[in-house]
Amino acid sequence: MGVARGLERDLRAIVPADAVLAAARFGPYCHDATIQRGLRGQPQAVVCPEQTAQIGALLRYCEQHSLPLVPRGGGTGLAGGASPLAGGVVLCTERLRMVASDPAEPATLVVGAGVRTAEVQRLARERGLLFAPDPGGASISTIGGNVATNAGGPHALGYGRTGAFVCGLEVVLSGGERAWCGEGERRERCGYDLPALLIGSEGTLGVISAVKLRLLPAPQVARTWLALFEACEQAQSALDLLLASGLAPSLLDFFDGPTLLAAAARFPARQLLAPLLDRGRQQHARGALALVVELDGHQASAVNERGQELCGLLEECGPLRLAEISGSAFASWREGLGPLLASLRGGRVNDDLYVPPRRLGEALAGIAAIGEELAVESFAFGHAGEGVVHASFLAAIERADERERAHLAGERALELGLELGGAISGEHGIGAIKVDLYAQRSDPAALRVQRAIKQALDPHGVLNPGKKLRA
């Protein structure tokens, strides 16, 4: 209690008193979205600084007292990155909400790290422009968290991940020093590419306090189609054809049969799923797969022409159903999928992996087989065009045996991804949950370089220890 009081008093000398939360309010800051798999830590303090200088003083304080400092945005991360598993101080960016724009550079925006992703999307839209990254938790996640995880989302296929939109970063480094990296105040992109180093660094190299983003001209037209296939092989052929075509979809997602069945009630075009919902055929749903494809552009005629070509190509592969659907209704259905699956048994181990898109069918068959072997209900959906697979294994969170089997299934799915020439993370990052596997499976020389970078930027080892890379 004495230590906690002393810490609280010291922190109140750095930030306004109300920016140091009382212990009774720590609850939501003990975990991120991996709470679905039972991951939770216990911080010694939770602080919400309002200015960059306060972040610098907090980092210096943690270094002097060897306290872990865990940067946190919206806490929607799916790798345990913002969970204070080693205790310490959670630094939440929720009060860093500055928004600035420069009339001389109308297609850019400078925002504080705590501005929510959906707010950035809205600000871009109001300017007639596009901020394309659309990770599923956008109404809660922050731009700082998006940069720190290099978040993707359905439109990453057409437009790239968050990092592709960053032209500059303000970051607080060891010793509390503020640095600007990238374009902006000083034109410093001639040296080593520091923004590239910080993008995806998961709070382990510095605390991002503000981001300068580039915005794109917004497409005037977007059309979305759903193709439902009875057999995964047909969907794989359609995917291969599509990726080899010049159609350049802006979004190309997939959903396996069990996912479609579980979420059919809320699906915006439920009649398209009728072949799966038919009682007699439900047992065959496991092998079914739906592809959702969006084409966008600036001219309706060009998009319509590409749409015809797309439908011809999908027809060739013999879908059970092929129809245009509402893109916005599909997006909100998709956003609710994770929580819906988690609610089926109370807990969900959700491991994201990357597989080369041409091996998607093999990955899905393998994930289903893992679930069957371990007697765990499994689901898979993701971004087919990018090879991002979200494999979900359900467990009743209070039942240790189920939890263990679901975790084992998740580990096997990651191994499967590696066997297929993929990687252990599609888009969620390494965080705490994959830190050991990452070290085991990385090239030793590359790992040495990464450790040298970590040591140089975090010599006291306080920046989100135990995440991404173990010292």
Ligand X SMILES: Cc1cc2nc3c(=O)[nH]c(=O)nc-3n(C[C@H](O)[C@H](O)[C@H](O)COP(=O)(O)OP(=O)(O)OC[C@H]3O[C@@H](n4cnc5c(N)ncnc54)[C@H](O)[C@@H]3O)c2cc1C
Residues that bind ligand X (CB under 6 A): 32-33, 70-78, 81-82, 93, 113, 135-137, 141-142, 144-146, 148-149, 151-153, 202-203, 207-208, 338, 427-428, 431, 464, 467
From CA 115, how far away is CA 141, in angstroms rounded?
8
The side-by-side arrangement of strands in the sheet containing 207-214 is 99-100, 108-112, 207-214, 166-172, 178-182
Contact 134, 155 (CB under 8 A): yes
How many other C-beta atoms lie within 10 A of the C-beta of residue 43?
A: 24
Compute the least distance from the CB of residue 221 to ligand X, in Å. 23
Compute the least distance from the CB of residue 204 to ligand X, in Å. 7
Question: Please, which residue, 136 or 163, has the CB nearer to ligand X?
Answer: 136
Question: Please, which residue, 61 or 354, has the CB nearer to ligand X?
Answer: 354
Compute the least distance from the CB of residue 82 to ligand X, in Å. 4
Tell me the DSSP string of 163-226: GGGEEEEEEE-GGG-EEEEESSSS-B-SSS-HHHHHTT-TTSS-EEEEEEEE-EEPPSEEEEEE
From CA 418, how far away is CA 412, in angstroms rounded?
10
Compute the least distance from the CB of residue 283 to ligand X, in Å. 29
Question: Please, which residue, 287 or 410, has the CB nearer to ligand X?
Answer: 410
Task: Tokens for 328, please give them.
Answer: 């916005």
Question: Please, which residue, 149 or 378, has the CB nearer to ligand X?
Answer: 149
Question: Please, which residue, 136 or 361, has the CB nearer to ligand X?
Answer: 136
Q: How far is CA 212 from CA 21, 102, 162, 395, in A?
A: 29, 11, 12, 41
H/E stretch holding 329: helix 327-335
Question: Please, which residue, 93 or 259, has the CB nearer to ligand X?
Answer: 93
Compute the least distance from the CB of residue 430 to ligand X, in Å. 9
Question: Please, which residue, 32 or 458, has the CB nearer to ligand X?
Answer: 32
Compute the least distance from the CB of residue 434 to ligand X, in Å. 12
Helix (H, G, I), strand (E, B) or coil at 313: helix
Q: Identify which of 280, 359, 228, 397 has the alpha carbon closest to the alpha carbon of residue 367.
A: 359
Q: How far is CA 232 from CA 253, 291, 392, in A?
A: 14, 10, 18
CA angle 16, 19, 23 (to 5 degrees): 130
The partner residues of 93 in beta bridges, in order of sequence, read none
Question: Please, which residue, 39 or 208, has the CB nearer to ligand X?
Answer: 208
Question: Please, which residue, 204 or 378, has the CB nearer to ligand X?
Answer: 204
Q: Identify which of 102, 154, 159 has the alpha carbon closest to the alpha carbon of residue 130.
A: 159
From CA 29, how far away is CA 8, in angstroms rounded?
16
Q: Identify which of 404, 408, 441 has the alpha carbon closest to the alpha carbon of residue 422.
A: 441
Compute the least distance from the CB of residue 399 to ligand X, in Å. 23
How many other C-beta atoms lie within 10 A of the C-beta of residue 248?
A: 15
Amino acid, single-letter form, for residue 158: G
Compute the least distance from the CB of residue 467 to ligand X, in Å. 6
Question: Please, which residue, 177 or 305, has the CB nearer to ligand X?
Answer: 177
Helix (H, G, I), strand (E, B) or coil at 343: helix
Compute the least distance from the CB of residue 457 to ligand X, in Å. 12
From CA 168, how far away is CA 170, in angstroms rounded?
7
Question: Please, which residue, 96 or 420, has the CB nearer to ligand X?
Answer: 96
Compute the least distance from the CB of residue 336 to ligand X, in Å. 8
Question: Please, which residue, 72 or 306, has the CB nearer to ligand X?
Answer: 72
Compute the least distance from the CB of residue 373 to ligand X, in Å. 28
Residues in the chain: 471
Compute the least distance from the CB of residue 121 to ligand X, in Å. 13
Contact 469, 461 (CB under 8 A): no
